[in-house]
Amino acid sequence: MGSKGRSDLSMFFDARSVAIFGSFREWGGLGSGVLENMMKLGYGGRVYPISRSQTEVMGLRTHAAIREVSEAVDLAVVITPRSAVPEIIRECAESGVKAAVIVSEHFAEAGDEGAELQRQLADVARRDGIRIMGPNTIGILNAANGLVTNPYLFDSKKIRQGGIAYCSQTGITGAQCQPLEDRGLGISKMCDIGNKCDVDEVDLLDYLAGDPETSVVAMHLEDVKDGRRFMEAARKLAACKPLVILKSGRSEAGAKASASHTGSLTGNDRIYDHAFRQVGAVRVSEWQEYWDIPKVFATGRLPEGNRIAIVTYSGGAGVVAADVAADVGLVVPGFSSATVEKLSKLSPRSAGNPIDLGPILSSAYEPASTQEEALSAVVSDDNVDCVAIGMYVGPLAPVEYLTDLIDRFMLNVSKPVAFWIYGPKLSIVEEAARQLEARGMPTFTDFETAVRALGKAARYAEFRRSLDNVAV
Amino acid sequence: MGSKGRSDLSMFFDARSVAIFGSFREWGGLGSGVLENMMKLGYGGRVYPISRSQTEVMGLRTHAAIREVSEAVDLAVVITPRSAVPEIIRECAESGVKAAVIVSEHFAEAGDEGAELQRQLADVARRDGIRIMGPNTIGILNAANGLVTNPYLFDSKKIRQGGIAYCSQTGITGAQCQPLEDRGLGISKMCDIGNKCDVDEVDLLDYLAGDPETSVVAMHLEDVKDGRRFMEAARKLAACKPLVILKSGRSEAGAKASASHTGSLTGNDRIYDHAFRQVGAVRVSEWQEYWDIPKVFATGRLPEGNRIAIVTYSGGAGVVAADVAADVGLVVPGFSSATVEKLSKLSPRSAGNPIDLGPILSSAYEPASTQEEALSAVVSDDNVDCVAIGMYVGPLAPVEYLTDLIDRFMLNVSKPVAFWIYGPKLSIVEEAARQLEARGMPTFTDFETAVRALGKAARYAEFRRSLDNVAV
């Protein structure tokens, strides 16, 4: 279970037994929702529904109170009206429960009375040592063991295991709202810290810094409770793993909205911006970036410099991508003479960067091998630190053709390569992207985000190199 | 056919007869590709494949040369090796063909020899009066009559007719690469002007300004041939229809890439930016915006001011949306006292803007009617000029539930409302978006783009009001 410091959150993510407080009615019972989601994801721990009115729920025996459970339970999930919560948490603490996710809402975000109840929870946590996540949260998901505290039914049969930890201060990031499976995201853990009466972003940063399953952390924040502690934790994490932050409430309107969402005081955005830069965090400003930018980091590859190769089958897409590369501080160098020579043999007209492989393709006798040669030449070019490739999938190049081709030219490539897959049928594009993600190839829904991700990666790599230089 | 000035492009878009020069072999013949695409879209005009080697193609009798066709054909589509093109165009002009789309490539974009051939084409166009689009283009698509010159097979069975004209200088915007049908885009016409040896962006602007099928123009440009003429035409169009421009080659790297793509000299970007603003064009910088921003204009509704209401079922999404609203110059006002009163009756805690309907929903006895009441109150609030709404679709609220709800609260609403639909299954989200688009509800793949679209609409509306004031 790792070290037992305050920031050890393994009693949440690695809980071997879970008690659920909530409604277990058949339709729309949120306690039943947690159970069903756990079953879907194949959670193998012991689960105890706590209910006075039912003796059995979905094949599980219920207990009327937590003290009647014969073992000391690791984790409680609480989804009751708010007034019942403080007493439940006290009982849990008494019975040796180590941690609780409080899904119930209407606490600090809902006015004075709720704020007072939330203070009571924080007191219990401090006094009795039980750790609390929330209230007003959907809690956690661990892709490795299928543990999930989300009470809202989701369709996913499986969350693909991978290196990205997604942490937020909102429930919309949960599997009930996001096409995690359809997008093929490779996830280690997910976490909604809600109103943060106890567990906060700092605990999470400390825990994830040491989590071997997590190679990159994406974090959505509305506020930071303790700036100094946050800086320390973020600096420690970013020194070993990329940390992507979506800090909202940047504007006055956003800050006002945030106060009524999670009771957060968002603070001056310039200070945040400066702080994030100082600790080496990668800041993003929109949800699509929160989901997508971490993909390029999940490969574990960082560019050795800021030189990008842009490969397209459309000159028009290449020009826009080159503009975005310039926006994010990447340069678009000429290819080395060796590459130019190779490319010139394949086509008299396609040796520039961005390179449009369309003309090569339309004049090649063996398009597949010609493409492979051209792509291999580009991705292994010494002038190039990272590569963005836009590729078509559809009737003229089915999914298997595409994945085979990519497998071949990506063999032995160690620099980061970001893909944009496009085509006339969304279902086919999405299937190709899913298969590429599963192969560890970061795949984006637009070319610009692919390029931006590489720009962020180059900047983070520079930060990491600056640390190494200091260390020397 | 409208007025017969130089900028009348109806001989392209309304051609009643088309001759096709290209390969008609069964597999991969590009001439056959055009034919097949035309059949798919149900083009009802007369089609003449020109071939010396085949007597029949896909049930159509061929002719060995254009002069053997018994009628004066409106439009020629040319997809032959480049060396054959000038002679074909000369023969077409002699035979009374009014216009030609030259798909063939390797002209000005491919060096001196190609540039010389392209000059010859321009000479024929000038001398013999035949209008030429291209070379290096996939030409046009008219959703109203199924006329299409794109030789690359696409999957779409139907392009939905609507008010948006998409014009570009690249082939990747064609139906062979873009999920036009899956996205449910409502399209009037599409056009790739390629190397612009004759027909250029100014002709297109002039033509589309007078096209009754087109209510908004999206234009991708790498360069502008004649700044003064462009300004005049853009000003004229933007005074009556929104003009959304993606001008690429903003950066040095992008400009260099553009030269080898279409032989364009992109020029100083600041000058473009200033010019676009002056004529009232709406500038965007990425492809997703090129496709999506026009949707909000296609409704024909413009906001009367810059006050936005943001409706979510997630506080977290609302905060980010409020930030983006501020970025694009929108304000997020409080609701009027009448609205606050209505909302307060539905839930004690949801009368702010952004409004999170989650709490209302979770406490309502009749969620459907409660949502409808809340949404109706917000969209009809006098303090609000436009509305962005993020809504869930999935197991808990199926497509039909969503569309019915939206139909009800959108009844009698005349201000612009932009939708973001999200959920755990991409196929269901996409189906919902398609159905909403078909009902004239602009639907976006992320909330931020929905808000940005409204910001662009508010700015354009302000421009239009400034014209009215001058006119008075």
Q: What is the predicted pLDDT for the residue at B265?
A: 57
| CB spacing of A261 vs B356 below 8 angstroms | yes
Contacts B254 to A, Cβ<8 Å: 319-320, 322-323, 326
Contacts B257 to A, Cβ<8 Å: 310, 315, 318-319, 322, 332, 352, 354
Is the pLDDT reported for residue A153 higher than 90? Answer: no
- DSSP for A293-362, written as a single string: HHHHHHT----SSSBEEEEES-HHHHHHHHHHHHHTT-B-PPPPHHHHHHHHHH-TT--SSSEE-HHHHH
- CA–CA dist B118, B85 (Å, integer): 9
Contacts A327 to B, Cβ<8 Å: 251
| CB spacing of A248 vs B359 below 8 angstroms | no
**pLDDT category, A26, cuts 50, 70, 90?**
confident
**pLDDT category, A261, cuts 50, 70, 90?**
low
- Rounded to 5 degrees, φ, ψ at A470 are -60, -45
In the DSSP assignment, the letter for residue A63 is: B
Contacts A252 to B, Cβ<8 Å: 326
Q: How would you classify the pairing of strands A243-247 and A216-221?
A: parallel
**pLDDT category, A120, cuts 50, 70, 90?**
very high
pLDDT tens digit at each of 472 positions of chain B:
333 456 689 999 999 999 999 999 988 899 999 999 999 999 999 999 999 999 999 999 999 999 999 999 999 999 999 999 999 999 999 999 999 999 999 999 888 999 999 999 999 999 999 999 999 999 999 999 999 999 998 877 789 999 999 999 999 999 999 999 999 999 999 999 999 999 999 999 999 999 999 999 999 999 898 999 999 999 999 999 999 999 999 999 988 888 776 665 566 898 999 999 999 999 999 999 999 999 999 999 999 999 999 999 988 999 999 999 999 999 999 999 999 999 998 876 768 999 999 877 777 778 889 999 999 999 999 999 999 999 999 988 999 999 999 999 999 999 999 999 999 999 999 999 999 999 999 999 999 999 999 999 999 999 999 998 876 5
Q: How far is CA B425 from CA A147, A155, B399, B403, in A?
A: 21, 7, 12, 17
Residues in Cβ contact with B252 at an 8 Å cutoff, skipping those fewer than 6 apart:
A326
Distance from CA of B135 to the nearest CA of A (A): 14
| CB spacing of A248 vs B319 below 8 angstroms | yes
Q: What is the predicted pLDDT for the residue at A59?
A: 93
Distance from CA of A96 to the nearest CA of B (A): 32
- CA–CA dist B9, A445 (Å, integer): 35
Label residue B386 exposed, middle or buried (CB < 10 Å: 0-12, 13-18, 19+): buried
- CA–CA dist B142, B154 (Å, integer): 15
Is the pLDDT reported for residue A445 higher than 90? Answer: yes
| CB spacing of A430 vs B425 below 8 angstroms | no
Q: What is the predicted pLDDT for the residue at A262?
A: 63
Q: Which helix (H) or strand (E) holds B375?
A: helix B367-379
Mean local confidence (pLDDT), A88-100: 97
Tokens of B269: 């970007």
Mean local confidence (pLDDT), A282-292: 97
Which has more confidence, A180 or A265?
A180
- CA–CA dist B50, B62 (Å, integer): 6
3-state helix, strand, coil in chain A (%, to 5): 45, 20, 40
Q: What is the predicted pLDDT for the residue at B280?
A: 98
Is the pLDDT reported for residue A469 higher than 90? Answer: no
- CA–CA dist A100, A19 (Å, integer): 9
Q: CA geometry: angle at A324 spanning A318 and A327, to 5°?
A: 150
- CA–CA dist B135, B82 (Å, integer): 9
User: In the predicted model, what is the mean pLDDT of chain A?
Assistant: 93
Label residue B438 exposed, middle or buried (CB < 10 Å: 0-12, 13-18, 19+): middle
Q: What is the predicted pLDDT for the residue at A363?
A: 72
Contacts B319 to A, Cβ<8 Å: 222, 248-249, 254, 257-258, 261
Lowest mean pLDDT among A105-114, A287-296, B322-331, B346-355: B346-355
CB B360 within 8 A of CB B371: yes
| CB spacing of B257 vs A315 below 8 angstroms | yes
| CB spacing of B352 vs A260 below 8 angstroms | yes
Q: How would you classify the pairing of strands B75-78 and B99-102?
A: parallel
Is the pLDDT reported for residue A297 higher than 90? Answer: yes
Partner-chain residue, chosen from B251, B322, B392, that has the shortest CB–CB distance to A177: B392
In the DSSP assignment, the letter for residue B426 is: H
Q: What is the predicted pLDDT for the residue at A471?
A: 61
In the DSSP assignment, the letter for residue A75 is: E
Q: What is the predicted pLDDT for the residue at A6?
A: 62
CB B141 within 8 A of CB B214: no
Q: How would you classify the pairing of strands B56-57 and B60-61?
A: antiparallel
SS3 of residue B382 by DSSP? coil
Mean local confidence (pLDDT), A215-232: 94
Q: What is the predicted pLDDT for the residue at A265?
A: 58
Nearest residue of chain B to residue A192 (CA atoms): B316
Contacts A430 to B, Cβ<8 Å: 426
Virtual CA dihedral for B126, B129, B130, B133, nearest 10 degrees?
Answer: 50
| CB spacing of B287 vs A313 below 8 angstroms | no
In chain A, count H helices and then E strands: 16, 19
* Beta-carbon count within 10 A of A158 CB: 12
Distance from CA of A129 to the nearest CA of B (A): 29
- CA–CA dist A21, A151 (Å, integer): 11
Q: What is the predicted pLDDT for the residue at A264?
A: 59
